[in-house]
Amino acid sequence: MRTPALAAVERWYRERIAGLLNSGDAVAARVRASALAVLSSGGRLTTVQRSMLTSAIEELERRPWGTYPHSAEMLHLARLVAAAAQDQSKVMPSRSASAALYGRK
């Protein structure tokens, strides 16, 4: 199931990410990795990926805007990724997934 938040991440990533990557910005690299993870998994993030995204958001919120000119846009993308992952956490597992969880066929 594709949520509006996931569609927004995909569109934003496709249209804008190339111009925002600064090879010296580790936080931007973590946001990019989080966006790729949420897109490739259909909106799901592991606990480690969520932690990485949360720390990137916190760093971007504390960052002086003049340090990296793209900080506001990276923060926007990071929040879209977090919303997409949150949307997916509320989706009920499919019947086959729940059957596998409980050992049913």
The DSSP secondary structure of 10-42, one letter per residue, reads HHHHHHHGGGG--TT-HHHHHHHHHHHHHHHTT
Domain around 93: 4-101
Contacts of 81 (CB under 8 A, 6+ apart): 9, 31, 34, 35, 38, 53
pTM: 0.75
Q: pLDDT for 57-79, tens place per residue? A: 999 999 987 778 788 888 999 99
Predicted pLDDT of residue 93: 45
Encoded tokens for 49: 């990926």
How many domains, the chain?
Answer: 1
- Tell me the C-alpha distance between 78 and 63, whole Å: 14
